[in-house]
Amino acid sequence: MEKRNFFFLLLAFLVLGSAVLAGGCGTNVNGVSEELNAGEENEEAAIEGVISRGGDPVVGLALSGGGGLGMAHIGVIDVLLENGIPIDLITGTSAGAIVGALFSDGVSPEQMEKIVAELNWSDFLVASVPELGFFSTEGMEEKLKEHLQSENFEDLAIPLAVVATNLDDGEEIVINSGSIVKGVVASAAIPVIFQPVEYEGMFLVDGGLVNNLPSELAREMGADIVIAVNLADNFRFEGRPQGLIETGIRSYSILQRSHSVPVDADIEIHPDLEGVAGTDLDQYREIIARGREAAEKVVPEILALLEEKKENEY
C-alpha cells in the first residue's frame, strides 16, 4: 500500500507539472524550427491533401497536457467521431501528444480505453540513476512502441505536431517529423521526474512548460476551424499542502494561472473533472465519460460552424 501511495503522490506531481502554461517562447528549432520547416514539405503535402477533400474546411484538434486527466481527450474524440465531425490535423502537448499520436495512427477511442484499462503507473516509472531525472523514459517509449504501427510522423494518417521544451534555452520546440516515439516522449517528459530526452542535439522536456495547449499551432498548420480541449481548469486545492510533493503541485498550479494566455480556438472544450484524480487509473471510465459530456455540449455549435464555413467560404 505504501508503494502504491508513493506512486500516486509522485504521479500527482506529473499531472500538474504537465499543465503549466506559459506565454509561449515561440521559437522552434530543429524538430520543426521557426515556421514548421523541419518536415515542412511533408506537412504541407498532408495538409494539401486534407484541403482538397471535397473543399470542406480543415478542422484542427488541439489537445492540452494534463497527466492522467488527459484520458478525457479519449471521450472528446469519441463524441466528435460519433457526430461525423472530421479531425484533419492534431496538435498536442504531453498527455495530449500521447492521445493525439495514438489516434493519428489509427487507434480508435474504444481501443485507447482498453489500453488504459490495462495500464499501471509502474509501466512508466522506470528508475534510473538520478542525474537529471528520477525516472527513465524507457517505460513510456516501450508502451508507445507497443501500440503504434507507424514509426515516423510522416507516416501518420492524420498530420500531427507535438510541443516540447528545450531545456538548454527554455524555447518551445515543435516536432512534426522523425520518430513519433521520441517526439511524443519528449513532449511528456516532466523535468526532474523524468530524464530529459536527447533529440537533435537538444535536451527536451515536457512541452507544458512553454505551451500547454498548442491551439495556435493548429492554425499555423492550416486549420480553418480549431477545436481546443483545455484541461487546465481542473487543478483545484483545499486546505494547506501536505508535504513536499503537494507543495510542488500547488506551486505549478499557481504558475500556470499566472502565465495563462488566450487560447486561439473557435471552439474550446473544458471537461469538468472536479472530484476525479488523474493519478488513480481506476477512475479512467469516469474521466473519459467527463470528456464525452463536455464534448456533447458543444456538438451543435461545431456542426453549425462547419456549415457556416462551407456556405461562406467553400
Residues annotated as part of the active site: 94, 206
Residue 17 · residue 208 · CB < 8 Å: yes
How many Cβ atoms from other residues are within 10 Å of residue 275's Cβ? 10
pLDDT bucket at 5, cuts 50 / 70 / 90: very low
Please, is 49 exposed, middle or buried when counting C-beta atoms within 10 Å of its C-beta (0-12, 13-18, 19+)?
Answer: exposed
Residue 225 · residue 218 · CB < 8 Å: no
Q: Which residues contact 143 (CB under 8 A, 6 or more apart)?
A: 119, 123, 124
Q: Indicate if the pLDDT at residue 32 is higher than 50.
A: no
| pLDDT on residue 101 | 98
- What proportion of the chain, given as a percentage, has pLDDT over 90? 51
pLDDT bucket at 239, cuts 50 / 70 / 90: low
Mean pLDDT, residues 243-256? 58
How many Cβ atoms from other residues are within 10 Å of residue 263's Cβ? 18
| pLDDT on residue 125 | 63
The phi and psi torsions of 181 (rounded to 5 degrees) equal -60, -45
pLDDT bucket at 253, cuts 50 / 70 / 90: low
Cα-Cα-Cα-Cα dihedral sign, residues 191, 197, 199, 202: positive
| pLDDT on residue 23 | 36
Residue 180 · residue 199 · CB < 8 Å: no
Cα 174 from Cα 306, distance rounded (Å): 28
pLDDT tens track for 129-155: 667 877 888 888 998 999 999 999 999
**Distance from the Cα of residue 263 to its chain's centroid:** 15
Q: Indicate if the pLDDT at residue 41 is higher than 80.
A: no
Give the amino acid at 147: H
Cα 226 from Cα 39, distance rounded (Å): 22
Q: Which residues contact 223 (CB under 8 A, 6 or more apart)?
A: 58, 59, 60, 88, 89
pLDDT bucket at 232, cuts 50 / 70 / 90: confident
pLDDT bucket at 163, cuts 50 / 70 / 90: very high
Q: Which of 135-139, 152-156, 207-211, 231-235 has the lowest average pLDDT?
A: 231-235
Better-scored residue on pLDDT, 266 or 276 = 266
Residue 162 · residue 207 · CB < 8 Å: yes
pLDDT tens track for 70-124: 999 999 999 999 999 999 999 999 999 999 999 999 999 999 999 988 877 666 6
| pLDDT on residue 205 | 93
The phi and psi torsions of 130 (rounded to 5 degrees) equal -75, 65
Q: Which residues are paired to 91 by β-bridges?
A: 62, 161
Cα 130 from Cα 256, distance rounded (Å): 26
Residue 135 · residue 128 · CB < 8 Å: yes
C-alpha cell at 110: 474504444
Q: Indicate if the pLDDT at residue 51 is higher than 70.
A: no
Q: Indicate if the pLDDT at residue 261 is higher than 70.
A: no
Q: Indicate if the pLDDT at residue 30 is higher than 70.
A: no
Whose grid coordinates read 514509426? Answer: 151
pTM value? Answer: 0.81
